[in-house]
Each structure stands twice: as structure tokens, then as C-alpha cells.
Amino acid sequence: MLGEAATGRLPAGYRRGRYGGALHLRYSILGPLAVTGPGGPVRLGGPRQRSLLAALLLQANRVVSIDRLAEQLYDDAPPVTAVSQIHRQVSELRQALGAAGSVETVAPGYRLLVAPDALDLERFERLTLGATSALARGDAAQAAGQLREALGLWRGEPLADLAVEAFAAPAIARLQELRLAALEARIEADLRLGDAAALVGELTALVAEHPLRERLHAHRMLALYRAGRQPEALEAYGTLRRALVDAFGLEPTPALQELERRILRHDAALDGAAASPRSERRSILVAARAAPALDVLLTLAEPLAAAPGRELVVVQLVRDADEVAPAASELAARRRALSSPARAAAFSSVDLAADVLRLEHAHEVDLVLLAVGETLDGARLPAAVERLLTAAGADVGVLATAGRAPRGTGVVVPFAGGAHDWAALETAAWLALTTGQELRLVGTRAERGGGRPDSSRLLADASLALQRVVGVDATPRLVAPGVDALLAAVAGAGAVLAGLSPRWREDGLGTVRRALARNVTAPLLFVHRGLRPGGLAPASATTRFSWTVER
């Protein structure tokens, strides 16, 4: 996520190159927002200035558009004077940071330059990545030390002084995920070092706080077993299973089921230094109200989960309790027919957004594929979709119209370079990679009379990024501006993935995307970018705040 690599070890507080030659600032977001300069703590202004700084720090060394800053600072309802107010607030922030700070004006917004290791989140990411590598090669002592150092950077709840600000909620949730993952990894390292009995109390408190967190339960089962408390270890499994079945109708992962069986038979290998067996699978959540829409989503999701280390979590959220039993029976048959590993359940839901968010958080999924049972061609998105997109940590693809099955070939992405367009591109490249289909990017030709230039450079940048990261080629196609030319370009596709507008909260889909929803016959997903690294991200990226193929 953060900045450029250092060219060498520098004295503490010194910066050079693009960061200048003066003493630089150190920023802290793993707790209340704080800035420290050469002379000590830097005094910041009120909530608006602190929010501006936090928004820039969460995208450190990257340009944040003025429109995006306005949405964040004014709770998605910016006043008509928002642009001029942002300019004034940036000027005041520059004064607060002084000569050591560096807020650059770069179209279409601003960029805060942060030197390597000057942000506590970057140091946390570096330490947790190192610990992950140490665990993988069996060096539990080094991993435990690095993880304790990483967790020691935390000074309380992240961005605690901005917790009431709506823009900060997704970032705070993602930071809390990273801390919990680091805590789980530290416990795993301690288990390998033989500290089982000493960990039981800590793990008991943690599973009470996170009752659906399967990795924590696995650690607790193993700690109890190694402490000579086999009956309690088995009861710990039963407690988790009941919680999962009650909440979602899902069974624990195959890895946890196997751990229970090994505890039952007193498997001698469980007394060794190895960590608790746990699934390394990364999950894709497929959720729908109706069976036809679920079938369409599964045609897209099944190939995505075909690679080793993937699984599908498939749920049908029916409206009435009387529908649960028949839906579950049909869903079980669908699961058995899938070629990819999957868990499936049906349950009644009166609050689709809340239930999908609980699943998404409990399983830390890479991608959510959702059908809400409503067509997406109105002036606003359905309320449940708006709530879900606002709070989800993962990328979310929303099926535009239920009941449409793939008939054409190729995966097509209308691409304009926005954050959600990049999310759509990554999911489309993932689909093209796993199905062998052609990936096509659609951009606009130059306007007549010397207006806006064509999109060829933008499409080339996107294609090069995909080749560099995942080796996927993309075929560019430039079309005339307007809805008709775009509809012609996506005709015959096997799937169409389009990023949501940056202004989806105010404008819904907008004119062009509504036309796609009404006219495209292939499965059409509207994709929203989440902060959690997505399906194309390498395993090492899971310790990072965010990841995108763009960087």
C-alpha cells in the first residue's frame, strides 16, 4: 500500500530524495491520529482537518481526488462550496505540518508524501509480512518476536478520535481485521513454541469476543488438547459448530472437522510443534435471494474457486422461514454438483445487508457476488445494496438482472480508470484467467473537434498492469462516446463487469450503467472496490491494508 522502498537505511527522522532533505514527520493512525515532528507532537486542528489528514494518510503517496475528499469530509453530501473549502483546508493543513510536511497539488487532487517507515501502519505491514515468511519457513521464534513488535505499535483503537466520522468506518474495520490477523498469527507462533497452557485464557476471551472466528477456535482447541484438557477441546469444537449453524446454517471448515477427529483419536502428531491444522483457503461469498440468480452467480464463481486454496461459501437468503427447508435441499444438490470446494446453506433473512456483512466479515472473503432480487435500473441503488457497499471490506459484484445465463464469449470491462473500474478489471481478469476466455477492455474514442482525448493510453496502462502482475493479456477496443456504441461493444459477451460510478451514492447507476442493466443479455456485474485485497492479490498481500493491480 504505502510509499516507495527506502534506498538505504537512514538515520531516524532523516529524509532525502523525493521527500526532501529536512527532518520529516512521523504519522500514527494505529490509535488516535497523531503527528510527531523534530520538536515533538504536532498540534492539529479540529475534526475536519484531522479527517483530511487521515484521508490522505490512508492513501499515502497516492493522489486523492478533490471529489473523493469532498465526499469523505462531508459525509457523502458535499456543499456547493466543497471544492473551495477543500483548498482552504489543505492550505491550513500545510501550515499545521510546517516545512517538514509535504502535501502536493497533483491533478485531480492532492498527495501527501510520507517517507518510508514514517507511518506506523507501514511499519506494521512490514513486520507482519516478515513474520508470515518466518512462520512459513518454520522460524516460530522470529515470527513471534516480529508480531509482538508489530502489535506493540498499536495505541488503542485505530483512528479512535475519528470513529464517529462515516468515511473512517471502513478503514477502521479493515485495520481491526489486520490487528486480529496478526494476533492470531502471534498465537500460532506461540503454540509452535510450546506455550499452549499459557494461551488458554487469552484464547477463551478472544473466542468470546469473536464467536465465529474459526482460526481462533482452532487455536483454542489445540491449546486445550495440549494442556491435557481433551474434553474441553472437543466442547470448544461443538461451541463453534453450534454458533456457525445457528448464525448461517454452515458447518465448520473441513480442516476444523479433521482437527476434531484427530483430537478424538488422540493423534500423537498434535503434541508436536506444528501449528493447529487450519484451512488456507481463501473464500468467495455467493449470496442471493432467489435460486435462478444464484445459479447465474455460480456460473461466474465456480471457475474463480477452481484454483487450489479456494472455496465457495454459497448462501440463499429466503424471505420466509417456510422456504428454508426446500431451498436448503436444492442448495445441497447444487453444492454436490460443483467442481470447486464449497460450503452451502439457506436461511431466512429480513435484513439481507446485515446478514451478508456478517458472513463477509466472519470468513474474510476475497469477493462477494450478490443478487438482491431486484433489478438495478432505478435512479438509486436498492437500500440494502447501498448499506452493504458502504460497510463491506471486500470487493462486491452485484448482479444487475437476475435470471440471465452466459451465452456469449469473452469477458468485457467498460473502463474509465476509476477505483471501482479497477476492481471490475481485477475480477474480470481473474475470471478470464480461470476460464481461458478473452478479456476485452472498452474505452472511448476522441471527441470530434479536439475535445477529450481517446482512452488508448488508459487502456494500455491497465493492460500492462495486468500483464505485470498476473500475466493476463487484454484486448482494447475504442468506441464512439455514447450509450449505443457501448452496447454494441459488449454485445455477444459471456460476461460484462462494470465498475460503479464514483458518485454512486448520489447518482445511483447513472445513465450509461442503467442502459447496460436494461439491455445487456449476458451476466452483468456492477463492482464496488473494498479495502481488503481481492482475489488476484498474492497471498503475501493479505497482511496489507489494501492492494490493487494498479500499483
Query: Does 11 fall in a domain?
Result: no
Q: How far apart are CA 57 and CA 43, in angstroms?
A: 16
Shared-domain flag, residues 162 and 267: yes
* Per-residue confidence (pLDDT) for residue 71, from 0 to 100: 83
Residue ranges making up the domain that contains 140: 121-271
- Last residue in a domain, options 271, 301, 317: 271
Query: Does 235 fall in a domain?
Result: yes
Residue 277: CB atoms within 10 Å: 18
pTM of the model: 0.89
Query: Does 534 fall in a domain?
Result: yes
* Per-residue confidence (pLDDT) for residue 18, from 0 to 100: 55
- Last residue in a domain, options 116, 148, 183: 116
> 525 has which bridge partners?
399, 497
Nearest-CA neighbor of 34 among 87, 96, 90? 96
> 371 has which bridge partners?
288
Which three cell numbers mark 166?
462515516
Domain count, the chain: 3
Shared-domain flag, residues 331 and 353: yes
- Last residue in a domain, options 93, 116, 139: 116
SS3 of residue 537 by DSSP? coil
Shared-domain flag, residues 240 and 343: no
Q: How far apart are CA 305 and CA 283, in angstroms?
A: 8
CATH number at residue 253: 1.25.40.10
Q: Buried (b) or exposed (e) across 76-107, using 16+ Cβ within 10 A? A: eebeeebeebbeebbebbeebbeebbbbeeee
Shared-domain flag, residues 209 and 301: no
The angle, 0 to 180 degrees and rounded to 10, between the axes of the packed helices 291-304 and 324-337 is 30
Number of residues written out for the chain: 551
- Is the torsion defined by CA of 288, 174, 526, 307 positive or negative? negative
| Residuewise pLDDT in 10s, the chain (551 residues) | 333 333 333 333 333 445 553 347 999 999 999 999 888 999 999 999 999 999 999 999 999 988 889 888 887 667 888 889 999 999 999 999 987 678 999 988 999 999 999 999 999 999 999 999 999 999 999 999 999 999 999 999 999 999 999 889 999 999 999 999 999 999 999 999 998 999 999 999 999 999 999 999 999 999 999 999 999 999 999 999 999 999 999 999 988 999 999 999 999 889 876 555 544 678 999 999 999 999 999 999 999 998 888 999 999 999 999 999 999 999 999 999 999 999 999 999 999 999 999 999 988 899 999 998 777 777 789 999 999 999 999 999 999 975 455 678 999 999 999 899 999 999 999 999 999 999 999 999 987 666 678 899 999 999 999 999 889 999 999 999 999 999 999 999 999 999 999 888 888 899 999 999 999 989 999 999 999 999 888 888 888 999 988 87
SS3 assignment for 258-284: HHHHHHHCCCHHHHCCCCCCCCCCEEE
Query: Does 393 fall in a domain?
Result: yes
CATH number at residue 30: 1.10.10.10
Query: Does 48 fall in a domain?
Result: yes
Which three cell numbers mark 353?
445487508
Shared-domain flag, residues 520 and 437: yes
CATH number at residue 393: 3.40.50.12370
Shared-domain flag, residues 146 and 247: yes
Amino acid at 271: D
SS3 of residue 183 by DSSP? helix
Query: Does 548 fall in a domain?
Result: no
Shared-domain flag, residues 522 and 481: yes
Span between the terminal Cα atoms of the chain, in Å: 8
Q: Which residue has the cell 498540534?
A: 43
Shared-domain flag, residues 63 and 44: yes
Query: Does 6 fall in a domain?
Result: no
Contact 380, 386 (CB under 8 A): yes
Shared-domain flag, residues 111 and 125: no
| Sheet of strand 63-65, all strands in order from the earlier edge strand to the far edge | 63-65, 109-112, 103-106
Shared-domain flag, residues 295 and 349: yes
Which of the 8 DSSP states describes residue 401?
S
Shared-domain flag, residues 129 and 107: no
Shared-domain flag, residues 341 and 394: yes
Which three cell numbers mark 272?
508436536
Contacts of 271 (CB under 8 A, 6+ apart): 226
| Sheet of strand 40-41, all strands in order from the earlier edge strand to the far edge | 26-28, 34-37, 40-41
**DSSP result, 281-349:** PEEEEEEESSHHHHHHHHHHHHHHT-STTEEEEEEEEESSGGGHHHHHHHHHHHHHH-SS-EEEEEEE-
Triad 337, 342, 348: Cα angle to 5°: 95
Which three cell numbers mark 232?
474441553
Query: Does 403 fall in a domain?
Result: yes
Contact 495, 525 (CB under 8 A): yes
